[in-house]
Structure 1
């Protein structure tokens, strides 16, 4: 059983929520929250220590405090919040490498819990209806958070071989959504116009922010280790259904042009788009959550639809100025589609 827990990434929304929730368990003697900046939100009875997991100093903190459980929450999904893609990759990949190196030397360590993502499965037209934990991606994520998550899990597997005495649980969370958290998906569905790949209506699963926190607490406090575990709310919704729930019009664009438009929106700072995200918006993803229930013993309170509706209920209504923005996006879409058709026509001539 966990007694001294170290949590990384407590200054981020989900890390702070997890630390507060974990603090309600009286069986824990000490909770240490680390991050590079002080948390802007309460973290309960967790003690904040300003530290960078990319610095070997993290090893001293783990050993001196006698940490027996490490919960790695500091895998960042959006480069905008990390200060750019380069910083995001350093924190996600280099930070994980340094943290695991410190964990390898910690004799008292008995458990490691890692917050990962269903993005490791990628998105492609050859995907199965539901991914189980034993399945690999049909098309590996090529960039961004998905690629980082694949690398992080690779380092975790290497750590498991070096420290077989440490129980490891890696939670592959579906896209997290809710009224308080901000992610690339919440930004996307808050846009005045929802850009959707033409001819596709992706199947999507979500996990509510409260369920994501509860699943992490369960993985930390339940006896045993569970390996890789998919975490998602029951059921699916399509992209068109989600857009209707938030009251946003859909602007269909060719998949090849969607990345161009996504880049334009990204530069405005309104939402964070990547090529892998555009693939997800075209092909979607489904998760089998049998292990979540049978092994981890966790049952989400929110279905996928209920989680999205809770988020949708807090999305601001469209403002008059949004119409102008929508027209600008439509004009840009027309220009991008026209340019794309010319390129394809040129290819055909060759």
Structure 2
């Protein structure tokens, strides 16, 4: 059973599982009906319109002898027409009800949960890379991060009470790609991009296809545990701005989170506190466990994922990034020549 089947992650995981002949049945669950194109790609999957906050979800699990539950129905932002209370109700209370049903079910053998690197927060005290055993050095200020911390706590409680169930938590780095560009990176659509003066946040990203592949792998063969999921390498924010063909405007952080948000229009006004902190400090993830225990290797590096997003977003560069590369090479050549002459 896959929750959030009418949304990007849940629907695409259902579509991948439906293509696997080794999977006998797939139950796709959501409160909304998936778009027609997504339903087509779901193939033989059976869609059930249900709310995981309702105790009746036990009938969906028990009545279909569900052995694997993939919980992808988490919201990063309040839904349209709803506020923080609605978001927390859907995220936290929904997960609590779902995991309570899983705990009582005699057929459930594996639970996979989509989480986020947002649980680590972002601060000047952060290590170069977070391992899965580490926690936030400064408590995250964003709603989504706090919800994910609570949801992960429910998962760990389930694992303690039902050690026979393999519970997997996948902490995704910010996700980008041609079909889904997270709002963390949307502000690069503006020709002039404000950044934090004196800082150059270190970004580690994940391609949307790798996120879907990781969830699918964990559903089929993944072991229990917590795993950081991210592409190889990193990208400085200044490099990202340049690769997008934007003009960087460094401003003090106080300006970045106030006037900067106004200048950016609706894109940056919707930023949460955690997103503002991310572009201030960045966040690095240690992915050793992803490779050795989950045995998942992303196809896209951080830079490749970002470039694919830029190509898919059809951004029109303010200037050709190649111009900067040429200028840098010429400048380095001049510096090298001057150094050689002095010696």
TM-score of the alignment, normalized to the shorter chain, above 0.5: yes
* Aligned residues of 2:262 and 2:268 also touching (Cα < 8 A): no
257 and 225 in structure 1: CA distance in 2 versus 1, 3 angstrom threshold = same
TM-score of the superposition, structure 2-length normalised?
0.86
Matching of residues 145-224 of structure 1 within 5 Å: 145-222=144-221
CA distance in 2, matches of 1:197, 1:62: 48
CA distance in 1, matches of 2:272, 2:87: 14
* Aligned residues of 1:120 and 1:137 also touching (Cα < 8 A): yes
Matching of residues 1-350 of structure 1 within 5 Å: 6-40=1-35, 41-42=38-39, 43-79=42-78, 83-222=82-221, 225-261=223-259, 264=262, 268=266, 272-318=270-316
Deviations 1:265-319 (A, max 9, x none): 7973676301111111111010111111100111110000000000011223359
Deviation at 1:87, TM superposition (A): 2.1
* Aligned residues of 1:266 and 1:273 also touching (Cα < 8 A): no
CA RMSD of aligned residues (A): 2.0
TM-score of the superposition, structure 1-length normalised?
0.85
CA distance in 2, matches of 1:193, 1:260: 16
CA distance in 2, matches of 1:52, 1:264: 37
* Aligned residues of 2:2 and 2:72 also touching (Cα < 8 A): yes
Q: Which runs of 5+ in 2 are unaligned?
A: 319-343
CA distance in 1, matches of 2:244, 2:79: 23
Aligned residues: 314
* Aligned residues of 1:187 and 1:271 also touching (Cα < 8 A): no
Deviation at 1:88, TM superposition (A): 1.8
* Aligned residues of 1:191 and 1:270 also touching (Cα < 8 A): no
245 and 138 in structure 1: CA distance in 2 versus 1, 3 angstrom threshold = same
